């Protein structure tokens, strides 16, 4: 099973980075309104952790399902 190709690595890296960046930007804008930017950026990044893990598991499960479908097709072709 060729699981960790460059495409898989870049996609998982991009997905987690985007989720963390969205929460950090939300923390920045909230912190700018409240007056404590650094605190809210840190809170945004910390709060993004479970969401980035959830996104990561969704992406990885999709890869596993895709790989299983490809293996099933190969087995059907061999038979």
Task: Specify the higher pLDDT residue, 16 or 7.
Answer: 16
Q: What is the pLDDT, as a whole number, of residue 33?
A: 96
Which pTM value belongs to this model? Answer: 0.73
Give the pLDDT confidence of 30-79 residue by residue, as tens digits. Answer: 999 999 999 999 999 999 999 998 888 888 888 778 777 877 777 778 76
Q: How far is CA 12 from CA 8, 16, 28, 46, in A?
A: 6, 6, 24, 19
Q: What is the pLDDT, as a whole number, of residue 2?
A: 60
Distance, CA of 61 to CA of 66 (rounded, Å): 9
Q: What is the pLDDT, as a whole number, of residue 25?
A: 97
Q: What is the pLDDT, as a whole number, of residue 56?
A: 84
């Amino acid at each position: 099973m060729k699981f960790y190709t460059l495409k898989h690595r870049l996609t998982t890296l991009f997905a987690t980075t985007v989720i963390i960046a969205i929460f950090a930007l939300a923390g920045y804008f909230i912190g700018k309104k409240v007056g404590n930017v650094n605190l809210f950026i840190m809170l945004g990044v910390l709060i993004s952790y479970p969401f980035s893990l959830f996104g990561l598991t969704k992406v990885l499960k999709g890869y596993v399902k895709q790989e299983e479908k490809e293996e099933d097709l190969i087995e059907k072709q061999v038979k």
